[in-house]
Amino acid sequence: MDDDRRRRTPRTDAVLADPSVAAAAARLGRGRVKEAVVACLEACRAGEVAPEDVVAHVLAMLPTTAASMRRVVNATGVVVHTNLGRAPLSQAAVDAVAVAAGATDVELDLPTGRRGRRGAAALAALAARVPDAGGVHVVNNGAAALVLAACALASGGRRIVIARGELVEIGDGFRIPELLQSVGAELREVGTTNRVHPADYADAIDDRTAFVLKVHPSNFRVEGFTSSVAVRPLAELCRERGVPLVVDIGSGLLAPHRRLPDEPDATTVLRAGADLVTASGDKLLGGPQAGLLLGDASLVERLRRHPIARALRVDKLTLAALEATLVGPAPPVAAALATRPEELLDRARRLALAIGPDLATAVHSDGRVGGGGAPGVPLPSAAVALPASLAEPLRLGALPVVGHVSDGRLLLDLLAVPADLDDELADAVRRVAGVARPGHTA
């Protein structure tokens, strides 16, 4: 029997020559496909795969693309989920990236045939969205924007004045003070962990002060016996003392948002007197990873021309995605924030029926922004409640679905799930739960 099975096992070269497998090798690379073929043939010799099913099993083992990252359904209720890549791009941004992947006019002025300003269209789009900014520049992430400001303004033993309560950790162990000090900046901390006053800043500003930095606390809120200094009075103080005020707003909100009334935005902060605003592009803006610098034209140009700016510049794919995010239709993050809870509950009810009422129920839930935005602010949402035992199988399924377990139930929150994924989501749940589609037999 073993000998017969081994004789019937196809040869490696025969499987690789199959048109479907050959097409996969052309798309994914021969090495990766051959590894899958060899593994599947070993399973065939062990009796785990029938010889006639080898090609189908090889194709099922292969990823969709040559990259290892997999598409995931974000049913966590966190709109900007750091572990899931933060802001998902709009289709317009995806299309722009596909075009930018080839030869483009990223630094060429086609009418004259001469070198053009890199990413001019993306920068113009950003400037148009924030008219209060005299100048704009883009680097590769929010931390890089702060590093560039520190390098350009605080070199040569000059100090950055910052409140102690704003010396935050920004994720994965990276901390604002260490980030700034790593490029040679010296910090002058003022106030206490929970309270800082205008006089604290006034006493700290001297002829060694490069700029005053105000940082949005992002993932936490300090409540109770607290005080801080708002941008406007701090800007007035800085103007009197002749030093710039740099404000890091974190999440990249460009204008006020009705659902996030306490979240700082670039327009409001600039109007309040900030000289420079730094922010991320892949959070509330809903675009690719990028660091935004907006503010006084001469200050932004000084930063743009600093030598370190070259090391922090963004690539053409980012510029393309950023421009499309700024001028195109609302990206998924904006769409999620605009969705009414009643719409989400209707979808949850339809999904529960499609999955099966014995397994799934529609429930109210609360989502959140994530990515450091609007900490502690609940976003009314709706979810499909399932047995908690399905959490791991859904994560490991053909289409990974990531929800969150609460009170002994797995909740698939729909806040960050596009409506056009509902059928796939229902199929994924039924597949791992081993239930048939309603109206069909198993």
Bridge partners for 213 per DSSP: 162, 246
Q: CA triplet 338, 145, 108: central angle to 5 degrees?
A: 90
Closest CA to 212 of 244, 255, 164: 244
Under DSSP, the state recorded for 126 is H
SS3 state at 120 = helix
Q: Point out which residues pair with 160 in neighbouring strands.
A: 187, 211
Q: Where are the domains of the chain?
A: 2-61, 73-84+334-433, 91-329
User: Cβ distance 196 to 229 under 8 Å?
Assistant: yes
pLDDT of residue 1: 46
Residue of 373, 395, 394, 420 lying closest to 80 (CA atoms): 373
Q: Give the integer Cα–Cα distance in Å for 64 and 105.
A: 30
Amino acid at 155: S
* pLDDT at residue 280, rounded to an integer: 95
What distance in Å separates the CA atoms of residue 393 and residue 430, rounded to the nearest whole number?
A: 11
pLDDT value for 439: 58
Sequence-ordered alpha helix ranges (H) in 182-245: 198-204, 231-241
User: Which positions ≥6 away from 20 have C-beta within 8 Å?
Assistant: 55, 59
Dihedral sign, CA of 194, 199, 205, 211? Answer: positive
User: Quick one: DSSP state of residue 86?
Assistant: B
135's enclosing H/E stretch is strand 135-139
Contact present, 190 and 215 (Cβ < 8 Å) = no
Say if strands 379-387 and 361-367 run parallel, antiparallel, or are unpaired: antiparallel
Nearest residue to 171 via CA among 333, 369, 371: 371
Give the pTM. 0.89
Q: How far apart are CA 51 and CA 311, in angstroms?
A: 54
Tell me the C-alpha distance between 34 and 236, whole Å: 67
pLDDT at 4: 67
- The token pair at 227 is 């005080």
pLDDT at 440: 54
DSSP output for 342-358: HHHHHHHHHHHHHH-TT
Which residue has 């859904």 as its token pair?
394
* Contact predicate 410/387, CB 8 Å: yes
Q: Which of 73, 84, 79 is nearest to 369 (CA)?
A: 79
Strand ranges (E), 3-89: 73-74
pLDDT per residue as tens, the chain (442 positions): 456 667 889 999 999 999 999 999 999 999 999 999 999 999 999 889 999 999 999 998 898 888 888 899 999 999 999 999 999 999 999 999 999 999 999 999 999 999 999 999 999 999 999 999 999 999 999 999 999 999 999 988 799 999 999 888 777 777 888 988 888 889 999 999 889 999 999 999 999 999 999 998 766 667 777 889 999 999 999 999 999 999 999 889 999 999 999 899 999 999 999 999 999 999 999 999 999 999 999 999 999 999 999 999 999 999 999 999 999 999 999 999 999 999 999 999 999 999 998 999 999 999 999 888 888 789 999 999 999 999 999 999 889 999 999 999 999 999 999 999 999 999 999 999 887 666 555 4
Which fold would CATH assign to domain 73-84+334-433? Answer: Aspartate Aminotransferase, domain 1 (3.90.1150)
What is 91-329's CATH number?
3.40.640.10
DSSP string, 417-437: S-GGGHHHHHHHHHHHHT-PP
Which helix (H) or strand (E) is 409 found in, with range? strand 409-413
User: What does the pLDDT read at residue 442?
Assistant: 45
Could you give the angle at which helices 54-61 and 30-45 cross, rounded to 10 degrees?
130
